[in-house]
């Protein structure tokens, strides 16, 4: 059992929770993941099993794609709707927003942007992770601002009742979708926070290949041999785990 296991994570559990459940289900201790998903996020979580843990860096550096719903008119400390509300825009202000205006703002946010890192993240300041400060209610003054890249942005709809914009986009390593949603609200002058987040791709894999933790448990219990084949497209053998890399086959004699 050396390879990549593609999980369609549900909303609620942490990435660590998913790893723990799969370890118990497969009876394999050596399992990690490539790219954390917040508890409020769903979608593709790439697990590395056995020797595949050694290719973590090659998968962590890949671009990712997300379906995101940004709720305008609300600004929170975490940049998503699970956080503490810091500011809310009046309903009459929000009602004046038009779909064309929102779409224009969304499409203008492609490219490399300088955005503040969310305080509820694992980025380190003075040797400590930002979320460690945030959990104590003590946000450092020097929260880093970094360049983040977003591209292939698709505007997929505007709900004038809930004041939510639905967008699909791709981003490079180190780019935070919550920071992007927060900036969208700032540009529209009403504030914004991520309400729904689903990862659809983690290069070179797509969520369509993934299955739920429950499905993994069921298929593994019903297997006829100790093989990942019973997991279908969710299981990628180690030699096939980096299809976007140049492959060199070498024959040798001793």
Name residues whose C-beta falls within 8 Å of residue 137's C-beta, 6 or more positions apart in sequence: none
**Is residue 135 scored above 60 in pLDDT?**
no
Average pLDDT, the chain: 90
CA 37 to chain centre: 5
Give mean pLDDT, residues 80-89: 92
Instruction: Determine the pLDDT at residue 235.
Output: 96
- Is residue 73 within 8 Å of residue 184, measured between CB atoms? no
> What pLDDT does residue 244 have?
83
The bridge status of strand 41-49 relative to strand 192-202 is parallel
Asked if residue 129 has pLDDT above 70, the reply is no
Looking at domain 64-201, what is its CATH homologous superfamily?
Pseudouridine synthase (3.30.2350.10)
Q: Is the pTM of this model over 0.85?
A: yes
Q: Are 3 and 227 spatial neighbours (Cβ–Cβ below 8 Å)?
A: no
The CATH fold assigned to 3-62+204-239 is Pseudouridine synthase (3.30.2350)
Contact assessment for residue 168 and residue 142, using Cβ atoms and an 8 Å cutoff: no
Q: Looking at residues 18-34, what average pLDDT do you find?
A: 93
Query: What's the half-sphere exposure (Cβ side, CA atoms, 13 Å) at 77?
Result: 16
Mean pLDDT over 15-32 rounds to 93
If 0-12 CB within 10 Å is exposed, 13-18 middle and 19+ buried, where does residue 15 land?
buried
Which of 69, 74, 68 minimizes the C-alpha distance to 186? 74
pLDDT in tens, 140-160: 666 678 899 999 999 999 999
Structure confidence at residue 77 as a pLDDT band (50, 70, 90): confident
| pLDDT number for residue 9 | 96
d(CA 251, CA 68): 47
Q: What is the pLDDT of residue 152?
A: 97
Query: If you average pLDDT over residues 206-215, what whole number do you get?
Result: 96
Q: Would you give the distance in Å from CA 10 to the centre of its chain?
A: 12
| Active-site annotation, residues | 38
Q: Is the pLDDT of residue 17 over 70?
A: yes
Q: Where in the chain is the domain with CATH 3.30.2350.10?
A: 3-62+204-239, 64-201
């Amino acid at each position: 059992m050396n390879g990549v296991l593609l999980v369609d994570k549900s909303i609620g559990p942490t990435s660590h929770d998913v790893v723990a459940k799969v370890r118990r289900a497969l009876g394999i201790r050596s399992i990690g993941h490539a790219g954390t998903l917040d508890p409020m996020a769903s979608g593709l979580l790439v697990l590395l099993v056995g020797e595949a843990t050694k290719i973590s860096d090659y998968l962590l550096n890949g671009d990712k794609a997300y379906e995101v719903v940004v709720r305008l008119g609300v600004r929170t400390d975490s940049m998503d709707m699970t956080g503490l509300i810091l500011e809310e825009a009046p309903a009459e202000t929000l009602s004046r927003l038009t779909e064309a205006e929102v779409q224009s703002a969304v499409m203008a946010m492609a490219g490399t942007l300088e955005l503040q890192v969310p305080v509820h993240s694992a980025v380190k300041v003075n040797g400590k992770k930002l979320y460690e400060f945030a959990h104590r209610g003590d946000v450092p003054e020097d929260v880093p601002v970094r360049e983040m890249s977003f591209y292939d942005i698709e505007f997929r709809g505007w709900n004038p009742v809930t004041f939510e914009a639905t967008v699909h986009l791709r981003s490079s390593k180190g780019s935070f979708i919550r920071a992007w949603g927060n900036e969208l609200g700032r540009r529209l002058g009403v504030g914004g926070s991520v309400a729904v987040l689903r990862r659809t791709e983690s290069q070179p894999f797509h969520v369509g290949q993934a299955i739920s933790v429950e499905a993994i448990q069921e298929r593994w219990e019903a297997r006829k041999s100790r093989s990942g084949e019973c997991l279908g497209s969710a299981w990628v053998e180690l030699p096939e785990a980096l299809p976007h890399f140049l492959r060199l086959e070498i024959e040798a004699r001793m």
